[in-house]
Structure 1
Amino acid sequence: MMGVRVADEELRPRVIIVGAGVGGVATAARLAAAGCTVTVVEKNDFSGGRCSLIHRRGFRFDQGPSLLLLPQLFRETFQELGTSLEDEGVNLVKCEPNYKVHFHDGTSFRLSTDIAAMKGEVERFEGKDGFERYLGFLQESHRHYELSVTHVLKKNFYSLFSMMRPGFLRHLLELHPFESIYSRASKYFWTERLRRVFTFASMYMGMSPFDAPGTYSLLQYTELAEGIWYPLGGFHKVIEALINVGARLNVEYMFDSPISEIQLSGDGTRATGVIFKDKTRQPLTADVVICNADLAYAYNELLPSTNFARSLLKRQASCSSISFYWALDRKFPELTAHNIFLAEDYKESFDSIFKKHQIPDQPSFYVNVPSRLDPSAAPEGCDSVVVLVPVGHLHDSTTNSHKGSQKTAGVTQDWDTMVATARRTVLGTIETRLNISLGPHIIEEVINTPPTWKSVFNLDRGAILGLSHSFFNVLSFRPKTKHRSIKDLYFVGASTHPGTGVPIVLAGAKLVSEQVLRALRQEGRISSPRGALEGEKSNISPLDRLQKEQYLSWLQWALLILIMSACLLATSSMWHGNSINIL
């Protein structure tokens, strides 16, 4: 573990982290390891946020994420804290196959890291030449993956000028940010069936494959090259491990502690602590406040209202979901650990979600059976099943009701009816395509809806993945990790840079920790040594050093400056100058 050079406990910088989601607990452990006194305050009586668990009658369900991608980012987090996943009791098992994708015509496709198996599956539909095109898709998505990890996930974007880094700019066009995942996949796959197989993963970002930037084929790549993994005991095991690391470093965790606001100095220029909703509790003071609550909620409910705060409520958000958690009194081997059921009207189903904010007539949906990988998820002879049906987010940002209907701009969202429709459609689709009937065997059911996600986790519009990852919601356009005018106030989580998804938020926790430590060191408030927590690379043999990147040619510079100028003009037009922080 990295040593601490703060001689007196009382001289250590005091940090308050609002929210015990994955970003909050990871940042807490990192800053505690660097010599800070850290307190985490959480509104709920459990940790993990959407990465929490649901327990019913001996059945266990992952409330949110149910598959672990980009495992190296998880391993790096624990290595940089002087430990490992295994040492902290997190045992990962590999899913094989990755998914079984079911189509309306009764056919299926098995996605796998096994190259021989994929050769047979691809050639079954695309012919002999199809496998070569599949390798071309892997090559491109591999490039997207490596460039994104190096130049986006591990770099902070403090202003629009951060996008002018030569190392990033020379690769910008290779990331295909101005094309959709679907259009890029169509270059390599000539059947509509495989175009769907290799684009549905955009749902992980809460986006339509017809709108998500082509860069995000990296999600399919990491599944196909690195595999899909599952922590035995549930995804929350990762959160527990980070909490345990923090506890050894004297991080204090305060659950059942909702706050009403982030406390500011008298002149409103710096964050000084938090004020609890329970007015009988004394406010907590700190040198630094880091907010892991939903970003739009934090800006609009915990801080003074501003034009920028209000603009977040109008930004494009990810979708929401109706999620069913079913306890079954028997096993159904026809279902693998991860199952995708794709709608016949593929594009129309996404249009219903992202343009009409409704549930599609024929939804595509995901079925997870954790008991297939981990017997402890259900009693012997039984199955635990999680069904995620993507739906439009709430229209009204201020709505908190769990039931009933909402009508905004002429569009009605009747959640009781939509839940009933989703349940009936899911059970009917599974029965039709697999010839099994789950309904009579459901002995316990829990349901999460957009109003649930909003009320329990304070998610703006019930959007389960925060802000969208459209071009003007990423990189320098995405809300910053530090408040632009309030000193000592930082943000970590899905809606700030670098973006949504557990491994991405872990990368964000490292960026924020580095940013906080740099500021504390510059102000003389901490003297911890530089090291792994701030991204310092270990010594590398001259034989193993990579060749330095070459400078951009004048033609590349001219083209990229033209693109950036167009982005600036578009940004000015969209947000009228003051409503978005571009500098």
Structure 2
Amino acid sequence: MENDATVKALTKSGSLHNRRVAIVGGGPGGLASAMLLAHEGADVTLYERHGQLGGRSSAVEGNTEAGAFRFDTGPTFFLYPQILRNIFTRCGLRMEDTITLKKLNENYDLVFENGPSLRLTSDIDVLEREIARIDAQDAGKIREFIADNRSKFRNFIPVLQRPFNTVLDLLRPDMLRAFPKLRPLSSVDRDLSRYFRDPRTRLAFSFQSKYLGMSPYRCPSLFTILSFMEHEYGIYHPVGGTMAVMEAMGQAAKQLGVTIRLNAPVHEIMTRKGRATGVLTDQGPERADAVVINADFGRAMTKLVPDRKRRRWKNKSIERKKYSCSTFMMYLGIEGSVPDKGHHTIFLSESYDRNFAEIEAGEMLSDEASLYIQNACITDPEQAPAGHSTLYVLMPVGHLRDGGVDWTDETRAQARRLVMARLEKAGFANIEERIRFEKILTPTDWEESYDVHKGAVFNLAHNLGQMLHRRPHNRFEDIRGVYLAGGGTHPGSGLPVIFEGARISSDLVIRDLAPRRRSTFFNRRSRKGATHVGS
């Protein structure tokens, strides 16, 4: 972690002048890294194999006779935007000049399959009244839950702001302060049982583990902070969709001097004597002093770095790791609107535990699927032609594996029928007859079209064996001069966490490439335990 004085000193010095950095992948982590490193004076080139920036945070667009529909591809909202704001501020820019994040009055509709249906907000009084419809005693424990998780969040944030390179990093003071609040052997659901007795109440505060592609019955108890963050800070909709944020970051990167090359796949990370020397593209070898890999970790390592050049992260090791679930996606442009539904709807199966067990097993489609539905046009009508609206529908499914679901045309059609039936059950009536545009993504599409290893859209699972120092390191341990950004490295998945990880990795690049006298000053100051700019 770096204090404000150190960052300012480096910024004024242009510490990476004449240093060349290649960034592989134009997702949120790659864009944030490009901005930060270019602002330090580096000659940054960002390579994106697709024709648009964003990766899983890009857009699905469909043109029809009625006009154009636009959908978020993956992430549909922002939590805790201060982290992104800090990145812009550090680069001498104002996020608000190019990005509009609208705080929603209501966080989401929470629809239990057999009732009740709740409308949850960040207003604790309203939240208590809604939860009381499940259990009045549970409602009386909400403020205690919020207070305890406020303390947990405050204690754990410093841990998420620095790299973890060895087991010794677990013994640093910030981790020792945070550890008593983590209950590492407890799951999210079990931790919530200390407050809430009704399983439906616990689901109302634990379904957020799906943001990590995990079951609340398996997800480590740390991640109760996800629901806390929603209720403490609110949920934000990026006007124009998440892609609008990626486009604004791309423009900011260009303003800072980054060269962005679209439709420019990287075929290999070039190395010499265990150190990265550049990237191999369609134009041939291109030299770099450092390479930041923002592509999906499992996919990038098995495709861009020969197995013989990796020590810890061999192909066999990558294959043995635990991965998140995948998703079956439907992007529906419909005639008319759904005015009685909120911006976000969470539809929870009556058999949620069995539903997630079947997802984790990955051997079949679960007939009792839960859904997430975004009704974006109720907030952002420009996402669809006049008189129309968009529905983004996500059904969690197992990731690709031997013996798992084979995503044939027949399976795809079966999943579509299942989603349409569950939409009806969730209260979205008469949708199918109004569809004017439709696009589907299966786990196979995620792997083949978006380069997501095993189609696991939330990356490596966030279990205890794959967090902190056991996750791929921000300064990649197998090859000197390679750094990682994105959900596959520490701290993990989710947009605010990915932005924080990009900052960690960028600061390591700065530390490693800056001239020795500045690097020494940097390391001496950072050992004093100060926090990063904007914290």
Calculate the TM-score normalised by the size of structure 2. Answer: 0.91
Aligned to 1:154: 161
Q: What secondary structure does 2:189 align onto? A: helix
Aligned to 2:176: 169
Q: What secondary structure does 2:150 align onto? A: helix
Among 434, 450, 453, the alignment partner of 1:441 is: 434
Aligned to 2:276: 271
- Cα offset, 1:412, TM superposition: 4.3
CA distance in 1 between partners of 2:71 and 2:526 (Å) = 33
Aligned to 2:239: 232
Q: Tell me which moved more, 74-83 or 51-60.
A: 74-83
Judging changes above 3 Å, is the alpha-carbon distance between structure 1 residues 529 and 156 closer, same or farther for their aligned structure 2 residues? closer
Letter in 2 for 1:144: K
Aligned to 1:120: 129
Letter in 1 for 2:288: A
- Cα offset, 1:425, TM superposition: 2.3
Q: What secondary structure does 2:395 align onto? A: strand
- Cα offset, 1:414, TM superposition: 3.6
- Cα offset, 1:163, TM superposition: 0.8
Please show how residues 319-358 of structure 1 align to structure 2 within 5 Å.
319-358=325-364
Aligned to 2:416: 423
Contact 2:183/2:221 (<8 A) preserved: yes
Contact 2:313/2:478 (<8 A) preserved: no
Please show how residues 67-82 of structure 1 align to structure 2 within 5 Å.
67-82=77-92
The number of equivalent residue pairs is 518
- Cα offset, 1:102, TM superposition: 1.1
Contact 1:59/1:384 (<8 A) preserved: yes
Contact 2:109/2:346 (<8 A) preserved: yes
- Cα offset, 1:241, TM superposition: 2.0
Aligned to 1:295: 297
Deviations 1:24-43, CA, capped at 9 Å, x for gaps: 11001101111111000111
CA distance in 2 between partners of 1:209 and 1:539 (Å) = 33
CA distance in 2 between partners of 1:85 and 1:27 (Å) = 16
Among 364, 369, 374, the alignment partner of 2:375 is: 369
Contact 2:512/2:519 (<8 A) preserved: no
Letter in 2 for 1:275: L
Please show how residues 568-579 of structure 1 align to structure 2 within 5 Å.
none
Q: What secondary structure does 2:320 align onto? A: coil
The answer on 1:481 being equivalent to 2:481 is no
Percent of aligned positions with the same letter in both sequences? Answer: 32
CA distance in 2 between partners of 1:160 and 1:526 (Å) = 24
Letter in 1 for 2:91: L
CA distance in 2 between partners of 1:253 and 1:515 (Å) = 22
Aligned to 2:99: 90
Judging changes above 3 Å, is the alpha-carbon distance between structure 1 residues 351 and 421 closer, same or farther for their aligned structure 2 residues? same
Contact 1:12/1:525 (<8 A) preserved: no
- Cα offset, 1:304, TM superposition: 2.0
The answer on 1:465 being equivalent to 2:458 is yes
Aligned to 1:576: none
Contact 1:367/1:385 (<8 A) preserved: yes
Judging changes above 3 Å, is the alpha-carbon distance between structure 1 residues 533 and 302 closer, same or farther for their aligned structure 2 residues? farther
Q: What secondary structure does 1:453 align onto? A: helix
CA distance in 1 between partners of 2:92 and 2:323 (Å) = 37
Aligned to 1:286: 288
CA distance in 2 between partners of 1:248 and 1:215 (Å) = 38
Letter in 1 for 2:168: F
Calculate the TM-score normalised by the size of structure 1. Answer: 0.84
Deviations 1:481-534, CA, capped at 9 Å, x for gaps: 12224221111111111101111010001101111111112546989999x999
Contact 1:4/1:529 (<8 A) preserved: no
Q: Tell me which moved more, 74-83 or 474-483.
A: 74-83
Please show how residues 562-573 of structure 1 align to structure 2 within 5 Å.
none
Aligned to 1:499: 492
CA distance in 2 between partners of 1:523 and 1:357 (Å) = 54
Letter in 2 for 1:90: I
Contact 2:152/2:178 (<8 A) preserved: no
Deviations 1:228-251, CA, capped at 9 Å, x for gaps: 101111112222222222111210
Aligned to 1:253: 260
Deviations 1:292-337, CA, capped at 9 Å, x for gaps: 1111122211112046222112200011101100000111113211
Judging changes above 3 Å, is the alpha-carbon distance between structure 1 residues 46 and 130 closer, same or farther for their aligned structure 2 residues? same
Judging changes above 3 Å, is the alpha-carbon distance between structure 1 residues 472 and 435 closer, same or farther for their aligned structure 2 residues? closer
Q: What secondary structure does 2:430 align onto? A: coil
Letter in 2 for 1:450: P
Deviations 1:164-199, CA, capped at 9 Å, x for gaps: 112212321311221101111122111122122111
Q: Which has the larger radius of gyration?
A: 1
Judging changes above 3 Å, is the alpha-carbon distance between structure 1 residues 26 and 330 closer, same or farther for their aligned structure 2 residues? same
CA distance in 2 between partners of 1:40 and 1:107 (Å) = 48
Aligned to 2:207: 200
CA distance in 1 between partners of 2:483 and 2:210 (Å) = 28
Among 169, 191, 194, the alignment partner of 2:198 is: 191
Letter in 2 for 1:327: G
CA distance in 2 between partners of 1:529 and 1:340 (Å) = 46
Contact 1:294/1:458 (<8 A) preserved: yes
Contact 1:181/1:217 (<8 A) preserved: yes
Unmatched segments (≥5 aa) in structure 1: 396-407, 541-545, 547-583
Contact 2:369/2:422 (<8 A) preserved: no
CA distance in 2 between partners of 1:120 and 1:104 (Å) = 20
Contact 1:51/1:236 (<8 A) preserved: yes
Aligned to 1:182: 189
CA distance in 2 between partners of 1:335 and 1:140 (Å) = 32
- Cα offset, 1:144, TM superposition: 2.8
CA distance in 2 between partners of 1:253 and 1:533 (Å) = 32
Judging changes above 3 Å, is the alpha-carbon distance between structure 1 residues 273 and 436 closer, same or farther for their aligned structure 2 residues? same
Aligned to 1:29: 35
CA distance in 1 between partners of 2:176 and 2:367 (Å) = 42
Aligned to 1:581: none
Aligned to 1:107: 116
Deviations 1:525-578, CA, capped at 9 Å, x for gaps: 989999x999966999xxxxx9xxxxxxxxxxxxxxxxxxxxxxxxxxxxxxxx
User: What RMSD in Å do the two structures reach over aligned CA positions?
Assistant: 2.6
Aligned to 1:136: 144
